[in-house]
Amino acid sequence: MNLKEKDRRHIIHPWSDLGSDAESMIIESGRGIHVFDNEGNRYIDAISGMWCVNLGYGDEEMAKAVSDQCVKLAYYTPFGAMTNEPSTRLAYELGKLTPGDLNCFQFTTGGSTAVESAIRFVHYYFNCLGKHEKKHIVYRENAYHGSTYLTASLNGKRCDRSYFNYMDDIVHSISDPNPYKKPDGMTLEAYCDLKVSELREKILEIGPDRVACFIAEPVMGSGGVVVPPPGYHKKTLEVCREFDVLYISDEVVTAFGRLGHYFASEDVFGIVPDIITAAKGITSGYQPLGAAIISDRLVDRISGASASENSYYTNGFTYSGHPVTCAAALKYLEIMKRENLNEHVREVGAYFMERLQTLKEFPIVGDVRGVCLMACVECVVSDDEAENIAVAQRVDAFCQDKGLIVRPYENLCILSPPLIIDRDGVDRIVDIIRDGIVSTMDEIGR
């Protein structure tokens, strides 16, 4: 069997079509913003693997940090009163960068386990306070929060719902605040207020004493890079505060530089949530690590002298605070600071958005949106969704033929290139997408 046959025979891929016998593309190596497949083709990776390889590929400093830590201490249990040096140092360093009093870290193995742990913390917190009814979670349509049982139940993308089971007794959705879907004639401010009022109504409908938390990505990622109208996050946080509902900001994609800041919640959207979840870029994708970052205020209320009788925090993983993953994160933070990566992202990100906006001249492009290095081109040719999806898939296929990997999702081309990209790299991405759109228009006779 060759590699592709072995893959097809033995691997169940995440989010894959089990009815398809399409061959996988085997990515063999990477350098900078490029990856190479095992047939020798080179591609610009305009999705950073999966929103995560912020420093690009082949960074030898990252490799050395990982390798040195493997030799020094590859692993030790984090359970109970045990820890290791890199995880302790990482928590301290991250605490200097997080907004407000978000200084307590539960390290996890990735984004889903960070979100799952955040919600388990919220339930534990309210139980300790005797508010046993506060269990319900409000999320948004088109959101993506992960792939564990509970987090998958908070995914608001229609196509994510399949033959699996989902929790439906404690999760409730409201619509996403996508300005592109704003009714004609409505101001952006009125649209924002409408979306915020949905949260208020949902909390009142469930009963404020039963609602534990609201979860939102600052900019919705896989759901189509939805940038909410100005003030949306501030106003939803105010609603949460009014009803003692905790606000979880899911920054699995947006933290660690993608929007030109360590965290987007406060620096981009002006809010200090109760909990932030992070993963992906925290190690630039060089190691799997996630974190639920929790406010001191919450932790203080249920620990030390305030801890409930016989309370025991039975949540965590064998690999929580794994020393090698934490060493990778520490190195990434060091490189981010030394290279002024956030500043670079703000500068090159503005150029990226400016160049992408030029694609709006094509009749099959309905919308171009995003912030910094998180963007999306939405293709629209008719009212028929299937036709729109087919068109976007053609654009993606043309891009791939021309050496560019974008992330197709329904009728969207999602883009999140490595943060080290320069203007020349941006030009190449936009030129290839432009060619892909022109070829698609030729093919469909538009």
Asked if 278 is part of the footprint of ligand PLP (rule: CB under 6 A), the reply reads: no
Residue with the two structure tokens 């209320």: 301
Q: Judge contact between 380 and 373, C-beta under 8 A.
A: no
Answer for which of 253, 326, 335, 392 binds ligand PLP (CB under 6 A) is 253
Answer for which of 46, 104, 206, 252 binds ligand PLP (CB under 6 A) is 252
Tell me how many degrees the CA angle 328-263-52 measures, rounded to the nearest 5.
Answer: 45
Q: Which of residues 102 and 432 has its CB atom nearest to ligand PLP in the complex?
A: 102
CB of residue 264 to ligand PLP, shortest distance in Å: 11
The rounded distance, in Å, linking the Cα atoms of 331 and 64 is 10
Output 333-338 pairs: Cβ under 8 A, ≥24 positions apart.
333/90, 333/93, 333/94, 333/97, 335/55, 335/59, 335/61, 335/62, 336/256, 336/257, 336/262
Asked if 273 is part of the footprint of ligand PLP (rule: CB under 6 A), the reply reads: no
CB of residue 205 to ligand PLP, shortest distance in Å: 26
Q: Judge contact between 173 and 156, C-beta under 8 A.
A: yes
Q: Which of residues 150 and 368 has its CB atom nearest to ligand PLP in the complex?
A: 150
Q: Which of residues 253 and 302 has its CB atom nearest to ligand PLP in the complex?
A: 253
**What are the tokens at 140?**
């948004």
**What are the tokens at 182?**
């704003």
Residue 219, φ and ψ in degrees, nearest 5: -125, 120
CB of residue 154 to ligand PLP, shortest distance in Å: 9
Asked if 421 is part of the footprint of ligand PLP (rule: CB under 6 A), the reply reads: no
CA distances to 2, 6, 22, 39, 265 from 9, in Å: 11, 5, 12, 20, 43
CB of residue 282 to ligand PLP, shortest distance in Å: 10
CB of residue 123 to ligand PLP, shortest distance in Å: 18
Number of Cβ atoms within 10 Å of the Cβ of 64 = 11
Q: Judge contact between 328 and 66, C-beta under 8 A.
A: yes
Rounded-to-5 percentages of helix, strand, coil across the chain:
45, 15, 40
Q: Which of residues 115 and 426 has its CB atom nearest to ligand PLP in the complex?
A: 115
Q: Which of residues 111 and 370 has its CB atom nearest to ligand PLP in the complex?
A: 111
Which 209-248 residues touch ligand PLP, going by CB under 6 A? 217, 221-222
Q: Judge contact between 265 and 293, C-beta under 8 A.
A: no
The rounded distance, in Å, linking the Cα atoms of 211 and 205 is 10
E strand spans, 10-59: 27-31, 34-37, 42-45
The rounded distance, in Å, linking the Cα atoms of 365 and 417 is 20
User: Interacting stretch for ligand PLP, rule CB under 6 A, among 25-33, 104-112, 414-422, 425-433?
Assistant: 104-112
Asked if 35 is part of the footprint of ligand PLP (rule: CB under 6 A), the reply reads: no
Q: Which of residues 33 and 143 has its CB atom nearest to ligand PLP in the complex?
A: 143
| Number of residues counted as binding ligand PLP (CB under 6 A) | 15
User: Interacting stretch for ligand PLP, rule CB under 6 A, among 144-152, 155-163, 338-346, 348-356?
Assistant: 144-152
Output the residue with the shortest Cβ distance to ligand PLP: 111
Q: Which of residues 303 and 315 has its CB atom nearest to ligand PLP in the complex?
A: 315
CB of residue 317 to ligand PLP, shortest distance in Å: 12
CB of residue 411 to ligand PLP, shortest distance in Å: 19
Q: How many residues does the chain have?
A: 446
CB of residue 279 to ligand PLP, shortest distance in Å: 5
Asked if 418 is part of the footprint of ligand PLP (rule: CB under 6 A), the reply reads: no
CB of residue 224 to ligand PLP, shortest distance in Å: 12
Tell me how many degrees the CA angle 417-423-426 measures, rounded to the nearest 5.
Answer: 40
Asked if 49 is part of the footprint of ligand PLP (rule: CB under 6 A), the reply reads: no
Answer for which of 145, 261, 331, 344 binds ligand PLP (CB under 6 A) is 145
Residues making contact with ligand PLP (CB under 6 A): 110-112, 115, 144-147, 217, 221-222, 250, 252-253, 279
